[in-house]
Amino acid sequence: MKVLITRRLPGDYHKLVAKDYEIILWDKDEVVSREFLLDNIRDVDGILCLLTDKIDKEVIDKANKLKVISNYAVGFDNIDVEYAISRGIVVTNTPGVLTETSADLVWALILSSRRHIVSADKFLREGKFKGWDPNLFLGYDIYSKTLGIIGLGRIGTAVAKRAKGFDMKVIYYNKSPKPETEQYLLKEYNLKVEYRDLESLLKESDIVSINTPLNKDTYHLITYEKLKLMKRTATIVNTARGPVIKEDDLVRALKEGLIFSAGLDVFEFEPQVNKELLELDNVVLLPHIGSASFETRQKMAEIAVNNLLLVLQNKEPLYSVNYHQLKNAIL
């Protein structure tokens, strides 16, 4: 049997694969080319891919033997899951292990985009620091303010937990309210989180964090009209998926001073970043590094490899997007 791996991953986990399977590895330090993907998907039994690799109908149609698509990510909007189901292919992902690391990065963006950390560092390096100044780089407070979380899933919940130490009020919007998560946060962290509809959340929050997956309900959830509801002193942070915010609308809002600042780890047309964003100093921009810690990227590799191997051995993977749906369809 053969597997296709679209990038060398941290750790030595692919050696586990090499014991029993022939590996076709894209061994360059860049996103796998479409051509390589289409050529090599033909006769492999499994693929271990990244969130940058579009596994759409065209790719799936080329595959003659494919049993599993193991995504090295929690998000799986890069894969046509419905089509994979119709072809009996299991799709797996790596949730859980990256939750806390990703929540840490949300806070890094909140802190840096409210207190000018990036611009201030640059200012000092440019030799502009001439002495303490009562008006230098004033930002807005974080402690005691209201944090609005859009999407109270694993990562959203981990972001909420951290707000406790900042004495914040926490509200959330979700497709449907999550009373069990509310209970959990109250019981385990003595933290009260309250549900709001999206409009109310945007009006009330000082800081908004987007932690929802990308799907047809969340595509362009945040537009100019929505940003207009926010406070002029507010910050919006997106570490989920770029297309949840209409990027041109965010640029306009930041230029017009409709909101104070933004922190972005993801972009609508990644890896392209809107040129105008690069010119603005009220936004912190990061190259999609939410889960990028040594510990977490290794754990993700371990899980992605195990998911792949389990499906190839006709066993249930550790985490899957469609395994039970498929099983039910077959039985």
- Minimum CB distance to ligand GLV, residue 45 (Å): 24
Query: Does 119 sit near ligand GLV (CB under 6 A)?
Result: yes
Provide the token pair at 149: 């979380």
Catalytically annotated residue among 241, 247, 268, 302: 241
Q: 144 CB contacts (<8 Å, ≥6 apart)?
A: 166, 167, 168
46-49 and 22-25 strand pairing: unpaired
Cis omega (within 30 of 0) for bond into 271? yes
| Residues 34-53 within binding reach of ligand GLV (CB under 6 A) | 51
* Pick 196 or 241: Cβ nearer ligand GLV: 241
Query: 288 an active-site residue?
Result: yes
CA distance 253 to 274: 14
Backbone angles phi and psi of 263, in degrees to 5: -135, 120
**Single residue of 6, 70, 261, 322 touching ligand GLV by CB under 6 A:** 261
- From CA 284, how far away is CA 214, in angstroms rounded? 21
Q: Is 270 a catalytic residue?
A: yes
Closest distance of CB 272 from ligand GLV, Å:
17
**Binders of ligand GLV among 150-179, rule CB under 6 A?**
none
From 59, 10, 25, select the one nearest 39 (Cα to Cα). 59
Least distance to ligand GLV, CB of residue 88, Å: 24
| Closer Cβ to ligand GLV, 205 or 291, answer by number | 291
> Contact at 8 Å (CB) between 277 and 106?
no
Give the count of residues interacting with ligand GLV (CB under 6 A): 16
Residues 271-330 that bind ligand GLV (CB under 6 A): 281-282, 284, 290-291
Q: Of 75-114, which residues contact ligand GLV (CB under 6 A)? A: 75, 98, 113
Phi, psi of 316 (to 5 degrees): -75, 130
The CB-of-216 to ligand GLV minimum distance in angstroms stands at 18
> Is 241 an annotated catalytic residue?
yes
- Closest separation between CB of residue 49 and ligand GLV, Å? 12
Which of 240, 200, 195, 235 lies closest to 219, judged by CA?
Answer: 240
Residue 110 tokens, joined: 């909140």
- Residue numbers at the binding site for ligand GLV (CB under 6 A): 51, 73-75, 98, 113, 116-119, 261, 281-282, 284, 290-291
Catalytic residues: 241, 270, 288
